[in-house]
Amino acid sequence: DGGITQSPKYLFRKEGQNVTLSCEQNLNHDAMYWYRQDPGQGLRLIYYSQIVNDFQKGDIAEGYSVSREKKESFPLTVTSAQKNPTAFYLCASSLEGSSYNSPLHFGNGTRLTVT
């Protein structure tokens, strides 16, 4: 079945450590996205990528980094510079840029807890 796989589902880290969240898709989609979801708030865009080897900052990119070396993969690194990293992180993909009519396909998220 085609879809988006995020791993791990739960992640626990000590403050000051960098951590990388995995996102893989087999939908052959060009565009991939990372969102952050906090209780009582709408999803906020961290980074997005339209094509391999290219990515753009979203609304809350500070303290995060990404790479897009393969079409299928879009890992997110949460660095120690991110002041409040505990959140639910969602990866998504779409056939084309989100301003068009193609829907976003989401993974099932990674819940990161930093203590």
- Measured CA to CA, the distance from residue 58 to residue 16 in angstroms comes to 23
Q: Chain centroid to CA 88: how far?
A: 10
Instruction: Kindly report the number of other CB atoms within 10 A of residue 59's CB atom.
Output: 10
Within positions 1 to 40, which residues make up the interface with another protein, using CB under 8 A?
A: 4, 6, 31, 33, 40
Q: Is 84 in the site for another protein (CB under 8 A)?
A: no
Shortest separation between residue 39's beta carbon and another protein, angstroms: 10
> Could you say which of 11, 22, 27, 50 contacts another protein (CB under 8 A)?
50
Planar angle of CA 78, 96, 63, nearest 5 degrees: 15
> Could you say which of 53, 84, 101, 115 contacts another protein (CB under 8 A)?
101
**Among 108, 86, 110, 93, which residue's Cα sits nearest to residue 38?**
86
Which residues of this chain interact with another protein, rule CB under 8 A?
4, 6, 31, 33, 40-45, 48-50, 56, 58-59, 90, 92, 96-101, 103-109, 111
